[in-house]
Amino acid sequence: MTQSNQYNIAVVGATGAVGQKMLETLEDRNFPIKELKLLSSSRSAGTNVTFKGADYTVEEATPESFENIDIALFSAGGSVSKKLAPEAVKRGALVIDNTSAYRMDENVPLVVPEVNEEDIKDHKGIIANPNCSTIQMVAALEPIKQNLGLNRVIVSTYQAVSGAGNEAADELREQSQAFLNGEELEANILPVGGDKKHYPIAFNALPQIDMFQENGYTFEEMKMINETKKIMHAPALQVAATCVRLPFFTSHAESVYVEVEQENVSVDQIKSLMTEAEGIVLEDDPSTQSYPTPLSSAGKRDVFVGRIRKDLDQKNGFHLWVVSDNLLKGAAWNSVQIAERVIARQWL
Amino acid sequence: MTQSNQYNIAVVGATGAVGQKMLETLEDRNFPIKELKLLSSSRSAGTNVTFKGADYTVEEATPESFENIDIALFSAGGSVSKKLAPEAVKRGALVIDNTSAYRMDENVPLVVPEVNEEDIKDHKGIIANPNCSTIQMVAALEPIKQNLGLNRVIVSTYQAVSGAGNEAADELREQSQAFLNGEELEANILPVGGDKKHYPIAFNALPQIDMFQENGYTFEEMKMINETKKIMHAPALQVAATCVRLPFFTSHAESVYVEVEQENVSVDQIKSLMTEAEGIVLEDDPSTQSYPTPLSSAGKRDVFVGRIRKDLDQKNGFHLWVVSDNLLKGAAWNSVQIAERVIARQWL
């Protein structure tokens, strides 16, 4: 451990959409950094990045990069994590991994601090950061589960392009301008960089996020289903998801239907739970048209909840609208938050 | 009745987003028009409109406008319909009304021809055209209800700005360009023209369509709930809706969860029902990334269905993705289609 409670930090994928937000978040939180090492694939190595007014050159990540690193924040794709996270652990670093590589590994805690902070202490060198759309949903669901019991969740998502990286955001920007100019739209990235076909996202909606699985669900939908059960320690919780990519840059929104165990629950009780919950901001007043939106939540670390309504048929059914910055609570902030808890609870 | 099976037609609201599509649809369908009268509020009166190569001047709608009219297609707002539809009926016209003014009136049939064509014959001069987001959903649900029984529907919508009129579409266009230029976004129309606050729609999502009701639901959500039960003759059907406005111009998409009555239903059975159903196009093949989108369905009269999946927990639960042009099947085409059925079945 480095002296005077400062830590050597590596950020892997420092030039990506999430990596950039990780640096901003480390700076905003005045994270106790002794030395900062910025790493990437060979493609982005050599890029210059500024952190707290100082210039850093991004280096290609190799096993040796992790010598003397205390905490390594990975966000450079699943294959990089699979290859290099074990190398970092071998050299004594704690890895907080933002890819899907280790999330469902039973030896790896999958953590949203407001939900299952205590799981961190069982780590064996790697802690996984959940999928963006999952994090904001479980943050809102946990206080409901804890206080009212939770049987069932049906979610339809409204997801920002930045979840697919800077290239997807560039594509939305270029296609939008082309559309407004009356030109043809060129699609090369979305819905999924590596898939066979690409469709325009500008002024459109794509009901595919990540690749299709054998069961007809997309991988994003299965991530929401499986990760929610793992994070909430609720293997029997019924979770259904439909994930849709939409033409906005930042923040995912979610239309969430839940059924609680307890009887005679009121909307006001759920509103109180949201008001009291850590990391949640209730923004819900129809009389003043108050509800969160992607634009209103972008750049903020909280999860915003609004449009809470009782189902008109199911006595124990409620509808919620959950919005959060997919690059902050959905990625960078949740990762840095895990690092902060690791330090505060001395779980390094 | 006019001679040789041609009809005198009035279009009220001829300069609006729906009115323009009504004219296009009447032209595309080669509707048997003897004389065409284009009407509007005083504000738009005097506008010149071309139909089948001939120029028409839009006149201000008055009670006397409907003398000798056989069929009047109304789409100029609820207050115009309330005032003038009875005047049109008094003068012998059949009114097909695209506003919400008469939809829940028990003396007025609310019709989607593929679902409840027979209800037309009970009309007393007015037939109501349902809300856009309701029409496409019930078109997809009816074959399921008829063949498998239907207990429950939970829908989250992804709705185009054109549903709020040409001004909303202009606002999206202007705000999008301002955003791309790095300028401030000015919001004057959405979420609802007449409401207190306005929020940017460009690169955003607004979980409010139409005004909030006492119960915390928006009027759009209550329209989907109440109209669905009326059209499908299913007062006990459980319907829940969350309606969201999104930054695209044309076509609404819907993430629809249904529970059917029959046991052991397969995804293939539902796909077959969609393939066989009138007005429905199945577009559903994960192996070729085939699913409908707002852009792919715009300008077409069908309702497109894809992403059909069995729920992973509920044996009788299924998820569907339903997309259709909100100005065509959701408005103009459904109205013209009602007029065609009225003529074909001699129900004028």
pLDDT tens readout for residues A189-246? 999 999 999 999 999 999 999 999 999 999 999 999 999 999 999 999 999 999 999 9
Round the average pLDDT of chain B to a whole number and report it. 97
Round the average pLDDT of chain A to a whole number and report it. 97
A 111-130 residues inside an 8 A Cβ radius of B: none
Q: What is the predicted pLDDT for the residue at B218? A: 98
The superfamily (CATH) of domain B134-326 is: Dihydrodipicolinate Reductase; domain 2 (3.30.360.10)
Quickly list DSSP for A70-108.
SEEEE-S-HHHHHHHHHHHHHTTPEEEE-SSSSTT-TTS
Give the CATH class of A3-130+331-344: alpha beta
Q: Where in chain A is the domain with CATH 3.30.360.10?
A: 134-326
Q: Judge: A257–B154 Cβ closer than 8 Å, yes or no.
A: yes
Query: Taking CB atoms and an 8 Å cutoff, what residues of chain B touch A311?
Result: 240
Q: What is the predicted pLDDT for the residue at B163? A: 95
Q: How many other CB atoms sit within 10 Å of the CB of residue B107? A: 10
Q: Judge: A238–B196 Cβ closer than 8 Å, yes or no.
A: no
Across the range B172-179, mean pLDDT stands at 98
Tell me what percent of the residues of chain B surpass a pLDDT of 90.
98
A4 pLDDT tier (thresholds 50, 70, 90):
low
Q: Judge: B200–A295 Cβ closer than 8 Å, yes or no.
A: yes
Angle B261-B267-B272 (CA atoms, 0-180°, nearest 5)?
A: 95
Tell me what percent of the residues of chain A surpass a pLDDT of 70.
99
Q: How far is B302 from chain A (nearest CA, A)?
A: 18
Q: What is the predicted pLDDT for the residue at B179? A: 98
Across the range A16-44, mean pLDDT stands at 96
Across the range B146-153, mean pLDDT stands at 98
Q: Is B69 helix (H, G, I), strand (E, B) or coil?
A: coil
Q: What is the predicted pLDDT for the residue at B285? A: 98
- Examine the predicted complex and report whether its ipTM is higher than 0.85: yes
pLDDT tens-place string over residues B259-297:
999 999 999 999 999 999 999 999 999 999 999 999 999
Q: Judge: A319–B212 Cβ closer than 8 Å, yes or no.
A: no
CB A161 within 8 A of CB A249: yes
Tell me what percent of the residues of chain B surpass a pLDDT of 70.
99
A306–B contact, CB cutoff 8 A: yes
User: Which chain A residue has its CA at the smallest distance from B191's CA?
Assistant: A289
Query: How many whole angstroms from its chain centre is CA A180?
Result: 31
Q: What is the predicted pLDDT for the residue at A3? A: 44
The residue type of B164 is A
Q: Which residues of B are annotated as a binding site?
A: 15-18, 43-44, 103, 159, 162-163, 245, 326
Phi/psi for B225 (5° steps) reads -70, -55
Q: What is the predicted pLDDT for the residue at A310? A: 98
User: Which chain B residue has its CA at the smallest distance from A242's CA?
Assistant: B255
What residues of B act catalytically? Answer: 132, 252
